[in-house]
Each structure stands twice: as structure tokens, then as C-alpha cells.
């Protein structure tokens, strides 16, 4: 179990108090450097008004804070604030004021020794943290993660600290930036004392998550050593809606498990993280659906036929097996929209795009007996895909041009339309008889879907597919299909 510590970022103490009352964290950090100058002087009165213990911090600009004054001014301000009943004071590794240390000791305020690095995880990390432990009651390190290898260093360090110091001093250790995000969510699993978070929409440091998201979506405060880890890898991946599907599902089964995004720079480095955390399973999204295959010991027939893997299961962080639930996810909403007596067999189908997503879609449609033509901007990619699945292909600009047959089903698999304005086939006129299936889920209605609706077509967006593939994936994660 870890504590959710809210970083208070408002200029006025009353506003910060309001944030505390609204958010109800386990503890909070009052940032003197973010308070307006008149309020800084009144900080000593804050802890008695607060319902939770408070950490006093005056973060220097070199450490990502807003304090730009001189050292003696800062010392004086901290000494004045320490008159209040703060639970902790955060002092940097090189802050060697004897006055501050003595005052903290007199007041019963514990010292958190902190070290920040906004470029990298420092070399000889262990030695630096050990040094800090000699001068404080607790140790904090916050380091920029430049990729999965840095994230692994954070996890390894946290684990070795717990082994070496089972009775304390406690450690706070976090990776900053997108690659460090898992360390913030998994602090409880790593046995770390707390994890910092922000009020909604107010990121106080690179990669801070809101308290609501940490508590309600990830249940970060409830995770412990034995919690099972699941996730999604991709780049980018922080926009993924999959945590909203899997976390509530784990909760409904009362499983001690969490599903979180892992931004990945290098798949090999991620697999080391996965082994270390003994990840049980993860979803795979762009651009890794093909790259993960070389790490699998076993592949389902769907992975073999599409060449893409969107789900990986592991046994204690090894023996990785690959599955593809995109096919099932794609077909389920489509078969639901068919009229009585209508079948996919022999349906004349145009697939727009010839990338990874198209591969799964085209494979699923060919297997279902559709008569498929792949249309793509780069004709050679359309040709290669069509040859793989023994179907037809044509250049994208020929879709809907006179002389070409009309289609019963048009499936849009490119990313064109995600930004809300573009249409991959602006010249294509819907007859109103086709089904249009655009697998983009954000925005929920693309310009192409809008045109198809207006023409009277049956229209499907990507959200039902996302949900259906997610449900199939969850069956695998929860062990229902093993």
C-alpha cells in the first residue's frame, strides 16, 4: 500500500485547503515556491487547518520549481514556515543548512532528502540514495526516464532498497516523463512510501497523474507486492482508452490487478521490464504488433494468419504467448449490424488502407467469405497485402470511379480522419446501400462516417470494435480462454 500525495499548486493557502477538502488525498505537499509572496509568510498556519499530514517544500528552479530567490532568503522562509506543524520537510541532497536540520528536529518534522534530475536516471544511483539516507529520515529521487531501460532502473532500485532497508528509511522513487509513468502508478507494488499526483488538469511535474485517475482508475493506493500487472504497450499510448475497459473489469471480478499504459521506445527493453514486474499480460498497439512476435514462444492461428499480435500473455514474466483479438473485435459489431438473412459471404467489400490494421481486417473479411478489394494510397502496399490474402487490389483514387463495381461494405482502416477533418476518399459517392465501417474510434464520428450517414448508409465506428476486442482480450487476461 502506498499513499497518494497531492501536490498543491495554488497561489493562495485558502485555495489549496479547498483542493485538499475536495480531493481528500492521504497526504499533501505544500509548495512554498508556488505560493504568492504574501501567502508564503503565512504557511506556518497551514498544517493545523489541513485534514491530512503536510510535506513542506520550496522547490528550486533547477529542480523544476518556481523558487528563484537566494539561498538565505529561502532558508529564512523555510525556518519561519517550520514553526507550523509540518509532518515532513523536503530538503535537497545538497541543502546543508544546520539551522534547518536543527529546527526540523526540534519541531518533530521529518526530513525527506531529495534529488532531481530532469535529463536522466543518474549513474551510481544506489550510492547517491544511500548517502542521502544518512542525512534524512526519508529519501526521494525523481528522475527523467528517457525510455524503458530507465524505467527498469527505477524498478530495480526500488526493489533493492526494500531488500536492503526492510525497516526503513522509506523511499520515494519516481520516473518523470511519459516513460516513467508506470513507476507513479505502481509505487504501491514496489513498496514505496508515496506517489505524487495533481489536481485534475494541473500537472505539477512532468508525468503527474490526477489524484482521481490514480485512485479511481488505477486504484494505485490499494496496490501491493502481489498485485498482478497488465498493460498496453505502444508509442504513443497515453491516449489509450483500454485502461477504462480493463480496470473496471478486474474490479468487477475482485481481482487484485491493474492495467496501465507502458509507453515503449524499444520492445526488447520493454520485455525486460515485463519480466521484472512479472507482467501477466498486455495489449499491443501501433507500432509494435509485428515487432513483438520475435519474443513469443507460441502464436495463435490468428497471429500467424494476420502477422500481427495485439495480445500477449505471460507466465510469471516469461513464456510469452501471442494472440489477436482484433479479428473477433472487428467481426462482432459487423455481424450485429447485418439484416436478417444477410451474410458476409460474397459481400462485395472495399478495404481502404494496407497497413497493419488493414491486415487484420482484410484477413477477417477474406476468412468470412467476402469478396475483397484493397484500396491504398501506395498501390504497391495494396498489391502486397492483396497477394498475401489472395484478393483484389486497386489504387485508392480509383475507389468509386465509373466502371468500378459498387460495394456492399466499405471498411476504412487508415488513420485519416483521426484529426476530425480529413477524408481518405473525398471523391467517393455513397449510394446509401453500403455499410460503412470506419475503425477510427476517436473522434466517434469521422467526416467519412458523416457523409455515409447523410447518404442513408448503415454506419459503424471504431468504438464497438474497440470494446469487442477489449472484451475478448479480457477473457484471455482473466484466464477464461486459456
Catalytically active residues are 289
Q: Which is nearer to ligand ATR, 36 or 378 (CB)?
A: 378
Nearest approach in angstroms of CB 424 to ligand ATR is 4
- Rounded to a whole number of angstroms, the minimum distance from the CB of residue 354 to ligand ATR is 4
353 lies in the site for ligand ATR, by CB under 6 A: yes
β-sheet bridge partners, residue 283: 232, 311
Q: Which of residues 417-456 bind ligand ATR (CB under 6 A)?
A: 422, 424
Kindly provide the residue ranges of all beta strands, DSSP E only, lying in 316-421, ordered along the sequence: 318-323, 348-352, 371-376, 392-395, 409-412
What residue has cell string 483500454?
Answer: 242
With contacts defined by CB under 6 A, name the span among 165-173, 250-258, 309-317, 351-359 that binds ligand ATR: 351-359
| Assigned C-alpha cell, 384 | 502486397
- Which range in 118-126, 238-246, 342-350, 409-417 contacts ligand ATR by CB under 6 A? 409-417
Query: Grid coordinates 477533418 are at which residue?
Result: 421
CB atoms inside a 10 Å sphere around CB 353: 26
Residue 306 as a binder of ligand ATR (CB under 6 A): the answer is no
Return the number of the residue (357 or 459) whose C-beta is nearest ligand ATR: 357
Determine, following the binding rule CB under 6 A, whether residue 291 of this chain makes contact with ligand ATR. Answer: no
Alpha helix ranges (H) inside 368-442 = 379-389
Shortest distance in whole angstroms from residue 356 CB to ligand ATR: 3
Q: Which is nearer to ligand ATR, 10 or 359 (CB)?
A: 359
Closest CB to ligand ATR among 283 and 414?
Answer: 414
- Where helices occur in 166-311 by DSSP H, the ranges are 181-185, 211-212, 242-252, 267-277, 301-306
- Our finding on whether 414 is near ligand ATR (CB under 6 A) is yes
Label residues 304-333 b or e (16+ Cβ within 10 Å = b). ebbbbbbbbbbeebeebbbbbbbbbbbbbb
Under rule CB under 6 A, residue 416 binds ligand ATR: yes
Tell me which of 210, 240, 373, 376 binds ligand ATR, using CB under 6 A: 376
Q: Is 381 near ligand ATR (CB under 6 A)? A: yes
Are 17 and 48 contacting, i.e. CB atoms less than 8 angstroms apart?
no
CA distance 462 to 225: 36
Candidate segments 128-136, 204-212, 322-330, 407-415, binder of ligand ATR by CB under 6 A: 407-415
Query: Which one of residues 1, 286, 427, 454 is an interface residue with ligand ATR (CB under 6 A)?
Result: 286
CA 159 from chain centre, in angstroms, equals: 22
Distance CA 454, CA 125 (A): 61
If one asks whether residue 388 binds ligand ATR (CB under 6 A), the answer comes out as: no
Nearer to ligand ATR, 77 or 267 (CB): 267
Among residues 334 and 357, whose Cβ is nearest to ligand ATR? 357
Assign 418 to helix, strand or coil. Answer: coil
In the block, cell 447518404 appears at: 455
Cα 85 to chain centroid, rounded: 37
Instruction: Look at residues 261, 168, 193 and name the one whose alpha carbon lies nearest to residue 4.
Output: 193
Q: Which of 109, 358, 373, 412 binds ligand ATR (CB under 6 A)?
A: 358
Compare residues 206 and 355 and give the one whose CB is closer to ligand ATR: 355
CB of residue 414 to ligand ATR, shortest distance in Å: 3
Rounded CA-CA distance 245/187 in Å is 22
Candidates 137, 149, 415, 481; binder of ligand ATR (CB under 6 A) is: 415
Among 160, 216, 335, 378, binds ligand ATR (CB under 6 A): 378
Q: How many CB atoms lie within 10 A of CB 118?
A: 14
Q: Which is nearer to ligand ATR, 172 or 468 (CB)?
A: 468
Does 356 bind ligand ATR (CB under 6 A)? Our answer is yes
Least gap, CB of 378 to ligand ATR (angstroms): 3
* Residue positions counted in the chain: 482
Cα torsion 232, 234, 235, 240 to 10°: value is -50
Residues that bind ligand ATR (CB under 6 A): 286, 353-358, 376-378, 381, 413-416, 422, 424
Amino acid at each position: 500500500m502506498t499513499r497518494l500525495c497531492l501536490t498543491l499548486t495554488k497561489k493562495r493557502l485558502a485555495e489549496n485547503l479547498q483542493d485538499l477538502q475536495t480531493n481528500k488525498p492521504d497526504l499533501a505537499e505544500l509548495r512554498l515556491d508556488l505560493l504568492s509572496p504574501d501567502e508564503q509568510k503565512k504557511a506556518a498556519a497551514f498544517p493545523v487547518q489541513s485534514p491530512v499530514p503536510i510535506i513542506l517544500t520550496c522547490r528550486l528552479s533547477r529542480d523544476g520549481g518556481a523558487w528563484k530567490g537566494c539561498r538565505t532568503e529561502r532558508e529564512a522562509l523555510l525556518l519561519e514556515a517550520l514553526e507550523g506543524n509540518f509532518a515532513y520537510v523536503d530538503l535537497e541532497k545538497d541543502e546543508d543548512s544546520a539551522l534547518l536540520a536543527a529546527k526540523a528536529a526540534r519541531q518533530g518534522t521529518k526530513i525527506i532528502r531529495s534529488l532531481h534530475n530532469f535529463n536522466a536516471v543518474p549513474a551510481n544511483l544506489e550510492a547517491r540514495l544511500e548517502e542521502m539516507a544518512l542525512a534524512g529520515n526519508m529519501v526521494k529521487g525523481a528522475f527523467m526516464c528517457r525510455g524503458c531501460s530507465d524505467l527498469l532502473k527505477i524498478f530495480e532500485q526500488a526493489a533493492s532498497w526494500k531488500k536492503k532497508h526492510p525497516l526503513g528509511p522509506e523511499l520515494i522513487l519516481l520516473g518523470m516523463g511519459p516513460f516513467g509513468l508506470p513507476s507513479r502508478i505502481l509505487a504501491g507494488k514496489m513498496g514505496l512510501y508515496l506517489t505524487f499526483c495533481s489536481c485534475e488538469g494541473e500537472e505539477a511535474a512532468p508525468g503527474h497523474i490526477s489524484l482521481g485517475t490514480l485512485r479511481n482508475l488505477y486504484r494505485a493506493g490499494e496496490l501491493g507486492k502481489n498485485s498482478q500487472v497488465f498493460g498496453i504497450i505502444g508509442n504513443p499510448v497515453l491516449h489509450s482508452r483500454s485502461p477504462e475497459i480493463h480496470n473496471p473489469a478486474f474490479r468487477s471480478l475482485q481481482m487484485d490487478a491493474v492495467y496501465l499504459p507502458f509507453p515503449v521506445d524499444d520492445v526488447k527493453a520493454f520485455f525486460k521490464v515485463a519480466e521484472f514486474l512479472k507482467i501477466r499480460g498486455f495489449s499491443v498497439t501501433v507500432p509494435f504488433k509485428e515487432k513483438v512476435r520475435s519474443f513469443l514462444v507460441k502464436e495463435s492461428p490468428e497471429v500467424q494468419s494476420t502477422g500481427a499480435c495485439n495480445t500477449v500473455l505471460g507466465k510469471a514474466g516469461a513464456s510469452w504467448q501471442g494472440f489477436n483479438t482484433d479479428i473477433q473485435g472487428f467481426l462482432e459489431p459487423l455481424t450485429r449490424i447485418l439484416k436478417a438473412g444477410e451474410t458476409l459471404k460474397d459481400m462485395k467489400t472495399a478495404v481502404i488502407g494496407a497497413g497493419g490494421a488493414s491486415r487484420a481486417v482484410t484477413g477477417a473479411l477474406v476468412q468470412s467469405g467476402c469478396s475483397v478489394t484493397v484500396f491504398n494510397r501506395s498501390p504497391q502496399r495494396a498489391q502486397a497485402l492483396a497477394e498475401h490474402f489472395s484478393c483484389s487490389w486497386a489504387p485508392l483514387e480509383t475507389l468509386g470511379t465509373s466502371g468500378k463495381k459498387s460495394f456492399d461494405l466499405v471498411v476504412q482502416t487508415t488513420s485519416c480522419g483521426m484529426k476530425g477533418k480529413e477524408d481518405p476518399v473525398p471523391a467517393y459517392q455513397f449510394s446509401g446501400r453500403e455499410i460503412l465501417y470506419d475503425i477510427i474510434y476517436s473522434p466517434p464520428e469521422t467526416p467519412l462516417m458523416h457523409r455515409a450517414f447523410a447518404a442513408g448508409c448503415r454506419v459503424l465506428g471504431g468504438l464497438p470494435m474497440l470494446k469487442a476486442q477489449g472484451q475478448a482480450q479480457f477473457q484471455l487476461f482473466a484466464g477464461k480462454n486459456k
